[in-house]
Amino acid sequence: MIEVRTAHTAELDAATLKAARVLLDGVFEGDMSDHDWEHSLGGVHALVWEEDELVGHASVVQRRLLHGGRTLRTGYVEGVGVRADRRRRGHGTALMETLERLVRGAYELGALGATHQAADFYAGRGWELWQGPTSALTPTGVVRTEEEDGSVYVLPVAVALNLSGELTCDWREGDVW
């Protein structure tokens, strides 16, 4: 039997945070940097447990995205992963249902950067591929992030979007999207 639990980062003990990091290191096969992990912190985590074993993780953190002359309060999804031997059992769906409920209840917009392998999963859940140019608001000004074009997905909640317009994210170290 699986159980999805939610908790803010501040409510998770060190052992649970370590288990989540180890899980994501395995899911992303060593391609989970310290910055990537840090991006998953400071918001609400959804954790899938099978008895006392953590098998899935995702989180939503607040970010600011700029679009159409507005700053949008955005629930940004990070650190989504299910252990390889537990995939195709509905765990990813359970994680995303939980986070999408949070996004719809607290934010104007949901957003995430998807890997190529996960793109169909998000699109199937109603997330829309951003068609326009992406950029980041850096300490030196707005910088285009062409390498991220075609991998950013949004979940409109309370704002009309022009999916072919410009979308700019706030600054953070590591991968900005």
Q: Which residues pair with 137 in a beta bridge?
A: 142
pLDDT number for residue 10: 98
Structure tokens at 87: 């995939």
Q: How confident is the model at residue 86 (pLDDT cuts 50, 70, 90)?
A: confident
In angstroms, what CA-CA distances link 104 with 27, 95, 98, 131? 27, 14, 10, 22
In-domain check, residue 176:
no
**Residues 130-160, buried b or exposed e (16+ Cβ, 10 A)?**
beeebbbbeeeeeeebeebbebbbbbbbeee
pLDDT of residue 90: 86
The model scores a pTM over 0.75 = yes
175 located within any domain: no
Indicate which CATH number applies to the domain containing 124: 3.40.630.30
Domain holding 77, by residue range, is 2-169
Helices (H), the chain: 14-27, 34-39, 91-106, 119-124
pLDDT at 3 over 90: no
In a domain, 87, yes or no: yes
Query: Which residues fall within 8 angstroms of residue 31, CB to CB, at 6 or more apart?
Result: none
Q: How far from 126 is each of 6, 29, 135, 154, CA to CA, in Å?
A: 22, 27, 23, 9
pLDDT confidence tier of residue 27, bands split at 50, 70 and 90: very high
Residues 102-128 have pLDDT tens digits of: 999 999 999 999 998 899 999 999 999
Q: Mean of the pLDDT values across residues 131-148? A: 97
Residue with tokens 């410009």: 166
Residue 172 and residue 63: Cα distance in Å, rounded?
Answer: 10
Q: Does residue 161 sit within a domain?
A: yes
Residues 11-24: tens digit of each pLDDT: 999 999 999 999 99
Instruction: Kindly report the length of the chain.
Output: 177
Q: Evaluate whether residue 65 is within a structural domain.
A: yes
Average the pLDDT over 70-91 and give the result: 93
- Angle at the Cα of 115 from the Cα atoms of 18 and 131, rounded to 5 degrees: 135
How many structural domains are present in the chain? Answer: 1
Q: Does 73 fall in a domain?
A: yes
Q: Residue with structure tokens 């939503």?
A: 60
